[in-house]
Amino acid sequence: MRTFGKSGTRLAAAALIAGSAALTTEASAQLKQQTFNAVGTWGNLANFKQHEGPFWRSVVPKASGGKITAKIQPITELGLKGFEVTRLLKLGVFDMAFGVIGYVAGEDAVFEGPDLSAVAQDITTARKIVDAYRPIMAKAFEQVFKAKLVVLYPFPSQMLWCNAKIEKLADLKGKKIRVYSATLGDFVEAVGGTSVTIPFAEVVPALQKKTADCGITGTTPAYRAKWFQVATHAYAMRVGWGISFGAFSLKRWNKLDKATQAFLTKQFKALEDRMWAKTGAEDAMGLSCATGGKCTLGKTGTMKLVRPSKADLVMRTKLLKSHILKRWAVRCKKKRPNCVKDWNRTIGKVVGIQIAE
């Protein structure tokens, strides 16, 4: 085996870096000078600040040697609602859009498939679900939004944040609970609550005024938005993952040369991997910060952390099968007769559950 001294090691490392730089330069030399217009999710949350924004502002320009650039703004700066991004993408206002599946599923219930409420209780299962369902999502994006699906990624796990005493699943009965998607509404109604649709930015005052008893959102988003200042109990049952997407205008994509398509495809794959890894690491921290635990994000909250009991988890599975999946099947079959069959052969196999066809 060949060995190196310290100087040899430095020389080898330098050669490796030089080689990588040469490959990058060679690859970027094949690219044409071009720019894109993109829209991201919420500007104050981690996915935009750490991933969506930097991807177009620095990662892609650097990797392309300055050949490919883009302007990207979050929906919060543009004053857009979550469901509007894909409509504007379809109209050609944006070349690419990031968004949350739950906000656009009103166009077609097939999009709810990978994030049906209470199905995935850990991020590893959530990614297996997404990977299994990806071909179905990709085809639906082309049909409904005239867009190419290029990224699928999560927000931190969606939990319940309440300004009322919640010690068990049954305590949600009679509560007014903020949701942002039909499937979360199905969960709330299954436990005997009333679902209310409230924009993310308006949840804090709603909890303060008690026009809502609880709100559903991700662990880190809840902490960043300071829900812990107006809510008292964090009920840590995972009722979703806020599965989100990056989609590219199919009309614009088809006009790109093969070198640009190959370059962007590689960059999108790397972005998706980073987002899953980072979200997995941040998920527990957001909950810890809101409930007085170890916190690297800022000031800790004092919410009471309530873990679901074994009985609660058993009831969750019962409600999932008897209510949530059945309701989705009815919605989805209205436009897509084979959607339940598609779910069963993909996600159903991952989680070991089949919906009656």
Mean pLDDT of the chain: 92
Please give the structure tokens belonging to residue 17.
């870096």
Range of the domain at 133: 31-154+242-283
What CATH number is attached to the domain comprising 314?
3.40.190.170
Range in 5-14, 36-45, 108-117 with the lowest mean pLDDT:
5-14
State the pairing for strand pair 68-74/214-218: unpaired
Q: Give domain status of residue 353, yes or no.
A: no
Percent over 70 (pLDDT), the chain: 92
Q: In what order do the strands lie in the sheet with 34-40?
A: 68-74, 34-40, 96-100, 244-249, 147-153
Q: Give domain status of residue 41, yes or no.
A: yes
Judgement on whether residues 97 and 136 belong to the same structural domain of the protein: yes
pLDDT at 204 over 70: yes
Over residues 310-323, the mean pLDDT reads 95
Provide the H-helix boundaries in 59-166. Answer: 60-63, 75-78, 84-91, 101-104, 123-145
211-216-222-226 Cα dihedral, nearest 10 degrees: 10
Judgement on whether residues 231 and 175 belong to the same structural domain of the protein: yes
Q: Give domain status of residue 6, yes or no.
A: no
Torsion sign, CA atoms 199, 328, 237, 140: negative
Give the three-state DSSP class for 217: strand
Among 259, 283, 307, identify where a domain stops. Answer: 283
Q: Give domain status of residue 16, yes or no.
A: no
Judgement on whether residues 43 and 129 belong to the same structural domain of the protein: yes
Q: Are 138 and 149 a contacting pair, CB within 8 Å?
A: yes
Confidence of residue 331 (pLDDT cuts 50, 70, 90): very high
Judgement on whether residues 42 and 190 belong to the same structural domain of the protein: no
Q: Give domain status of residue 212, yes or no.
A: yes
Judgement on whether residues 112 and 208 belong to the same structural domain of the protein: no
* pLDDT tens figures, 139-197: 999 999 999 999 999 999 999 999 999 999 999 999 999 999 999 999 999 999 999 99
Judgement on whether residues 61 and 150 belong to the same structural domain of the protein: yes
Q: Centre a 10 Å sphere on the Cβ of residue 15 and count the other Cβ atoms it contains.
A: 10
Among 283, 315, 338, identify where a domain stops. Answer: 283
Judgement on whether residues 202 and 326 belong to the same structural domain of the protein: yes
pLDDT value of residue 354: 96
- What's the rounded Cα separation, in Å, for the pair 222 and 158? 9
Judgement on whether residues 69 and 190 belong to the same structural domain of the protein: no
Judgement on whether residues 92 and 145 belong to the same structural domain of the protein: yes
The amino acid sitting at 154 is P
* Angle at alpha carbon of residue 97, lines to 123 and 182, rounded to 5°: 55
Task: Please tell me the pTM assigned to this model.
Answer: 0.86
pLDDT value of residue 27: 55
Among 283, 309, 339, identify where a domain stops. Answer: 283
Judgement on whether residues 117 and 212 belong to the same structural domain of the protein: no
Confidence of residue 19 (pLDDT cuts 50, 70, 90): very low
Domains held by the chain: number: 2
pLDDT value of residue 265: 98
Q: Give domain status of residue 67, yes or no.
A: yes
Cα 199 to Cα 102, 127, 224, distances in angstroms: 13, 27, 16
pLDDT value of residue 29: 67
Judgement on whether residues 167 and 205 belong to the same structural domain of the protein: yes
Q: Give domain status of residue 173, yes or no.
A: yes
SS (HEC) of 201-213:
HHHHHHHHHCCCC
Q: Are 158 and 242 a contacting pair, CB within 8 Å?
A: yes
Q: Are 286 and 300 a contacting pair, CB within 8 Å?
A: no
Q: In what order do the strands lie in the sheet with 194-197?
A: 194-197, 176-179, 214-218, 158-162, 233-240, 304-306
The amino acid sitting at 14 is A
Q: Give domain status of residue 96, yes or no.
A: yes
Judgement on whether residues 276 and 187 belong to the same structural domain of the protein: no
